[in-house]
Structure formats: C-alpha cells, structure tokens
Amino acid sequence: MKARKKVITALDYKNMDDVKNLVELLGDEIEYYKAGLEIFLNTGGEIVDYLHSLNKKIFLDLKFHDINNTTKMACEFAARKGVFIFNIHASCGTETMYEISKMLKDMNSKSLCIAVTVLTSMTEEKMQEIFMTDASLDNMVMNMAELTGKSGLHGVVCSAWEAAKVKERCGENFVTVCPGVRPAWSASDDQKRIMTPAEAVKNGADYLVIGRPITKADDPKKAAMRILEEIEAVL
C-alpha cells in the first residue's frame, strides 16, 4: 500500500503506555510516527529509542527556535539520533538555516531538516496581527519556503492549502509535510487551515501529519485504515 509512505501519525500522549497501546494496535499499517513536545518531554526522550527499536521512522517535532548556536546544537542532537525528519522554525532565519544545512552535510546525516512556516492553527487575520503586516498568509508561507530552500534545508511544514504552490516555487523534491489534515468524518479541533487526506495528497502534500482523527477515534485502527484507503484511492 503506497499510502503507508504518506501518513505520519502524531503521538500526542503523556506516557509510554498510551504510545505502546496505539503503536501495537496499528502494527505494520503505520510506518511513520511523529514525536512532539508532549511525549518527548514526558518520557525524557525515551520515545525516540522505543520507536527506533521497532524500526519505525520518526518525525521529531520539537520545533527548535532560538539563537543560531543553540538551534544548531539542538539540530545536532536530532541528527545524531538518526531521526527521519526533524524541524525548526523558519523564523530562525537564513543564516541559521544555512549553517544547519552545512552541519548536516559535514555530519553525513541522512535526517531531513524542515522548517515550520505558518502554523496550521493560524488564520491570516491572526498572523497579520502578530507580525504587524498586510502580507497574505499565502505570501508569508511562500517567502519562508523559498528562504528555507535557498538556505539548503530539505522542506517545510505548511498546510495542504499551500503545498502545491510551495512545490511550484521550490521544486518537486522540496519536501512538504502537512498537518491540519481532517477526514470529512472528524472534528477540526484547533486546526484552522484543514484539508481532507485525499485533497491534501492531490494538492502536493508529501507527508500528512495526522493525530487526533486516529488517536481519539473510538477505533483507532479502523480510523487509520479509512484514512489510508482514502489516500490510496487518489495515488
């Protein structure tokens, strides 16, 4: 099933018991998992070794955002752990992003470092308020994506609404990782820029980050299978 190479299930839990229950339940259907701040902090990082021991691929979503040296050292940790993907905020700037890309090459790292553009929980209005700008959300994402690409990093986190245009601007190989994915049958929760799994794939999303529609479902395995089947139908 090709769809398995598209879905990253977000393990937004507080403890390893909940993680193990889900990962065991989903079995071979899910190859990619996202470990974010909640589970990483609550398990003191144990989540990474656990998932690697099962040969699962990890998106380490700690969204590093700090001064140059501190961000680089955090990225060095992620690369040493050998995670498949990790992320920083694009607003760290081009100098930091360039230095990270150089460091990863020097380390012969295979990890992909991607930059968060505008969070999928953000609307254009809220973004303009925070950044004191008239720029459209679309232009903000495209600018951040282009700066990320020019700095030598591998791709971005953006919503599926922006994915096709990011690919046009930054090239087919520039990786688009898209949260804010909601099947028609699930709640949108705090996500604002959402698309269904099928729409997201058709609109250029390389990877779909999906948490609650699976983790909070009455039957998480059935929910995951429905999502995989929806994606498979458009591949």
Ligand X SMILES: O=C(O)c1cc(=O)[nH]c(=O)n1[C@@H]1O[C@H](COP(=O)(O)O)[C@@H](O)[C@H]1O
Residues that bind ligand X (CB under 6 A): 10, 12, 34, 36, 61, 63, 87, 116, 119-121, 157, 179-180, 189, 191, 209-212
User: Is 219 labelled as part of a ligand binding site?
Assistant: no
218 is catalytic: no
Q: Which is nearer to ligand X, 96 or 191 (CB)?
A: 191
Quote the DSSP letter at residue 90.
G
CB closest to ligand X, residue no: 211
From the candidates 66, 126, 192, 202, which is the catalytic residue?
66
For residue 8, which phi and psi values (nearest 5 degrees)? -110, 115
**Tokens matching residue 11:** 């393990």
In angstroms, give the least distance from the CB of 106 to ligand X.
25
Catalytic residue among 61, 72, 167, 206: 61
Is 60 part of any known ligand binding site? no
Known catalytic membership, residue 206? no
Residue 58 CB, nearest approach to ligand X (Å): 12
Rounded to whole angstroms, the Cα distance separating 207 from 62 reads 17
Give how far Cα 172 sits from Cα of 71, 114, 148, 168, Å.
27, 15, 14, 7
Shortest distance (Å) from residue 117 CB to ligand X: 8
Residues contacting residue 37 through CB under 8 Å, at least 6 positions apart: 61, 62, 63
The letter for the amino acid at 25 is L
| 63 is known as an active-site residue | yes
For residue 210, the SS3 value is strand
Q: Give me the catalytic one of 18, 57, 63, 192.
A: 63
Residues making up the annotated binding site for substrate are 12, 34, 61-70, 120, 182, 191, 211-212
